[in-house]
Structure 1
Amino acid sequence: MREVFGQSAYRVRFDWGPAGAERIADGAACVVVVDVLSFTTALTVAAEHGISVLPYPWRDASAVAEAARHRAELAVGRMEARSAETVSLSPPTIARAAAHRRIERLVLPSPNGSAISARMAATGATVVGVSLRNVAAAAAWVRQRAAGRPVAVVAAGERWPDDSLRPAAEDLWGAGAFLSAFVADRPERDDVSFEAGAAIAAYRAVAADLPAALAASVSGRELAARGFEADVATAADAGASTVVPVLSDGWFRPHTADAAGA
């Protein structure tokens, strides 16, 4: 039964959340994590500024200790970012702070994308952070690295108050955007799982006006209601980035498609 849920009959796979990641990661050359609002968008913006990122599951005292141990910046909660030099999970704060001072390392807590990334890294998988900003570059990097081996794409989703998974439209679209780019030049489509195909179809349904769809999504409206419309606009800037955050020795570091074999 585990083999069925693992989509092992297909080389291109898709599922949701930590449990889904564990099911489809077996034998995968790369595990692609998508958390558009906002972990992987923040991660991509950090990579654009040459910042290495440590994914951390919790924002608590242990995160403070971890940042101190690595002499790294610790991202605070969105509502705690009061100055132009304070970094939070809000992607614009990373760009703003990097414009004021040099940041080399950042501990970025997130219960969704960050937690999944850390969990997959512990299995020895090559973990890649993907947002709408870097889908084309990431698809090229993973295509080079995978060389025909299986690829697992995970939509992080959000959390309901009871901590159960809330599938989030923006992560479905982000995963579908990556998958659409990844399979674009593949003549053999029978190696794409139906779950991955459904994500591609969902993305293509909104691709013509992605910024409006993102703003109208539940997560987009939630951020706007809290005063973070800029987070949504930053996330919607598809194709803005050519860097690919790849997790190595616990840290996401910037790569480019040409460096996939490195």
Structure 2
Amino acid sequence: MESDEFDPAHRQASYDVRFEWGPVGAAALSGCSYAVVVDVLSFTTSVTVAVERGIEVFPFRWRNARAKELAMRVGATLAVGRFEALAFEGRHVSLSPASLQRAGDLTKLVLPSPNGSTICDAIADDGAEVVAASLRNRHAVAAHLAREAWSRGRTSTVAVVAAGERWPDDTLRPCAEDLWGAGAVLAALVDLGVDGLSPEARMAERAFRAVAADLPDELRSCASGRELVNKGFADDVDVAAGLDDTDVVPLLRDGSFTAAPS
């Protein structure tokens, strides 16, 4: 969708810091200087873990022939599905952040994800600087934004986009973990003295603060967390719950995520 198809009020244009859901929400917030994409279980957590290890990550929507072609062209490893990785006894990496922590030597990775990567590509095409955020690096992301977007008297606009999940009919399923992840970044921005949050952004901030003291348990208990635990991927939930475990800030530049200069 084009930005002029949205009611102006829905674009939250009166505020410097905005929050929305999914690809359509990202389109509604187009035109911001910076965009933070949050997909806690598990795309942006996996990107954070990979970039922390020095791996260049190429996001891709689907694991298909085009993804294989991209991997061959850039000399990257193509991540497999979670269950496929299990079948190979952990010898392949997947969207699982725990598998990325255990992986051997990797320098480049094509990481398919139908939710987070789709949003990243769309926002990048709009010209915004795209940052991958998770609970693991939320303070580092906020500090990067505070330094880059509001330093030296500048005033910039920031869109924080929760990726969400999909229902079986392919409609957006807003999910607790992405609300909390987005809220975690927003709470860190507020703690650093940033104001100008929209009511939608304030809502996400407060949602995070409400669960922050019990975050690991809450993450395991939410619908997406239970889904992964029940399927044998509890380690992924635990990795995702590591609040402020890293200072890495993955930036999307020329089609791949690498670490922002510190």
What is the CA–CA distance in structure 2 between the aligned matches of 1:185 and 1:227, rounded to whole Å? 38
C-alpha distance after superposition, 1:154-175 (max 9, x if no partner): 0000000111000010000000
SS in 2 for 1:86: coil
For 1:192-212, what per-residue CA distance to the aligned partner results, in whole angstroms no more than 9, with x for missing partners?
Answer: 100000001110110010000
**Partner residue, 1:246:** 251
The offset of 1:4, in angstroms, is 1.2
Q: 1:153 matched to which residue of 2?
A: 160
Q: 1:123 is matched with which residue: 122, 126, 129?
A: 126
In 1, Cα distance between the equivalents of 2:37 and 2:61?
14
Q: 1:17 aligns with which of 9, 15, 22?
A: 22
Q: Is the 8 A contact 1:85 1:96 kept in 2?
A: no
- Secondary structure of residue in 2 paired with 1:8: coil
Alignment check: 8 A CA contact 2:250 2:259 kept: yes
Deviating more after overlay: 141-150 vs 245-254? 141-150
For the pair 1:90 / 2:96, whether they are aligned, the reply is yes
User: Helix, strand or coil for the counterpart of 1:122?
Assistant: helix
Partner SS state of residue 183, structure 1 = helix
User: Please, which runs of 5 or more residues in structure 2 have no aligned partner?
Assistant: 1-5
1:233 is aligned with what amino acid?
D
Q: Is the 8 A contact 2:146 2:192 kept in 1?
A: no
Picking from 58, 62, 67, the partner of 2:66 is 62
> For residue 63 of structure 2, what is the amino acid of its counterpart?
R
Aligned ranges 1:1-262 → 2 under 5 Å: 2-26=7-31, 28-81=32-85, 82-97=88-103, 100-101=104-105, 103-147=106-150, 148-186=155-193, 189=195, 191-256=196-261, 258=262
Unaligned stretches of 5+ in structure 1? none
State the TM-score, normalizing by the size of structure 1: 0.93
Moved more, 163-172 or 55-64: 55-64
Alpha carbons 1:29, 1:145 under 8 Å: kept: no
* Contact 1:245 1:253 survives alignment (8 Å): yes
> Deviation at 1:121?
1.1
Instruction: Give per-residue Cα distances to partners, 1:60-112, cap 9 Å, x unaligned.
Output: 11111111111111010000112333110000111111xx32x1111100011
Rounded Cα–Cα distance in structure 2 between residues aligned with 1:124 and 1:8: 17
Partner AA of 2:43 in structure 1: F
Give the letter for the 2:198 counterpart. S
Deviation at residue 2 of structure 1 after TM alignment: 3.1
The question of whether the paired residues in 2 share the 8 Å contact of 1:17 and 1:156 is answered with yes
Q: Secondary structure at the match of 1:192?
A: coil
Q: How far apart in 2 are the matches of 1:10 and 1:186?
A: 15
1:114-172 deviation digits (Å, cap 9, x = unpaired):
11111111122110000000001110011112123010000000000111000010000
> For each residue in 1:221-258, what CA deviation from the matched residue of structure 2 results, as whole angstroms up to 9, or x when unmatched?
000111000000000011111101000011100125x3
SS in 1 for 2:191: coil
* Length, aligned pairs only: 251
User: Quick one: which amino acid aligns to residue 207 of structure 1?
Assistant: A
Query: Which consecutive aligned stretches of 4+ in structure 1 deviate over 4 angstroms post-superposition?
Result: none
C-alpha RMSD of the superposition: 1.1
Letter in 2 for 1:160: W
